Chains A and B, each alone.
Chain A
């Protein structure tokens, strides 16, 4: 009896540690939608992103292509390492912030608004170059304090419902909320095409969604708190394959 209980406990803790992508929790129709490029609606954004990669912009009329060349070579693996440390601002930058920084400082073009269609498109195109590669967040020690703050935020109770991310996504991920799987909240395929949104959205949009869900005040797009949370989520998802562009219900 005691041996049984011990075995059960071992299984339970192993189950809790096993990282599982949200893809595992979806119905077969939604999974097929993500896996088949001719059904995946995110391909509309991907093709737009590809066009933007080649389009000359800004004061010097330079395109991403002019400096970085073929994205399938130069951008392969890049998205698996983000958010990354930026020496100029002495802080972390996520992929869309890095794209914007490049756009403003190198192309000398007007910045895009956060969550705007061109920004999501280009981010999708860049991230898709790493599709299938394991998520491998940077071990830069300068990121450590930011990641630690993200981890603390992940376990901090917030909002009128007084709930933390960890309570659902670590403690109850194998259960359901209003009939829908809760999932581990692994950020493996952003930007995602979310059926509920009927469009593309970033990880920050998803995080703000969840915060509004527990009736907390969500920080604005690009806020340091959100990027810190992204850093912790990247550490949590370490080793899972990147799925961009993913489809989620």
Chain B
């Protein structure tokens, strides 16, 4: 399990956009770098980040080898009522991780 950091405001206003900040510990190995013996290291990156709010897709991003290690992605989401944000990272070598965080609308 990779370590993740997810930041959402403690409470948000109905219908107003708020920022979600996500970081995941991941090497993001590009597939172009040689190791100390000159062999090219196989690519190992996160290829997709997806965020749903109560099951509905609200944000997604495709990631590529140019993204640095431990990718930080921040995005805006709007919520009409309190619910659960599900954030999923998927990548090479069958990498998949899902974290959930509650959103409280007041």
Q: Which residues in A have some Cβ–Cβ distance to B below 8 Å? A: 38-39, 41, 43-44, 47-48, 195, 198-199
Contact B69 A44 (CB under 8 A): no
Contact A38 B5 (CB under 8 A): yes
Contact A39 B68 (CB under 8 A): no
B10-27 interface bits toward A, Cβ cutoff 8 Å, 1 = contact, 0 = none: 000000000001010101
In the assembled complex, how far is the CB of residue A77 from the closest CB belonging to chain B, in whole angstroms? 26
Measured between beta carbons, the chain B residues less than 8 angstroms from A48 are 3
Q: Judge whether B72 is part of the interface by a CB distance below 8 angstroms.
A: yes
Q: Which of the listed residues A41, A43, A195, A199 has the most CB atoms from chain B within 10 Å of its own CB?
A: A41
Partner of A198, one of B4, B21, B68: B68
Distance A38 CA – B30 CA, assembled complex (angstroms): 25
Contact A47 B72 (CB under 8 A): no
Q: Which residues in B have some Cβ–Cβ distance to A below 8 Å? A: 3-5, 7, 21, 23, 25, 27-28, 68-70, 72
Contact A44 B68 (CB under 8 A): no
In the assembled complex, how far is the CB of residue B82 from the closest CB belonging to chain A, in whole angstroms? 21
Q: 13 A-B Cβ contacts within 8 A? A: A38-B7, A39-B72, A41-B70, A43-B5, A44-B5, A44-B23, A47-B5, A195-B68, A198-B27, A198-B28, A198-B68, A198-B69, A199-B69
Tell me whether A38 and B69 are in contact in the complex, defined as CB-CB below 8 angstroms, given that A43-B5, A44-B5, A47-B3 are known contacts.
no
In the assembled complex, how far is the CB of residue B35 from the closest CB belonging to chain A, in whole angstroms? 16
Tell me whether A38 and B68 are in contact in the complex, defined as CB-CB below 8 angstroms, given that A43-B5, A48-B3 are known contacts.
no
Contact A41 B72 (CB under 8 A): yes
Measured between beta carbons, the chain B residues less than 8 angstroms from A41 are 23, 70, 72
Distance A135 CA – B28 CA, assembled complex (angstroms): 35
Extra 19 A-B pairs, beta carbons < 8 Å, given A43-B5, A198-B27, A199-B70: A38-B5, A38-B7, A39-B21, A39-B72, A41-B23, A41-B70, A41-B72, A44-B3, A44-B4, A44-B5, A44-B23, A44-B25, A47-B5, A195-B68, A198-B28, A198-B68, A198-B69, A198-B70, A199-B69
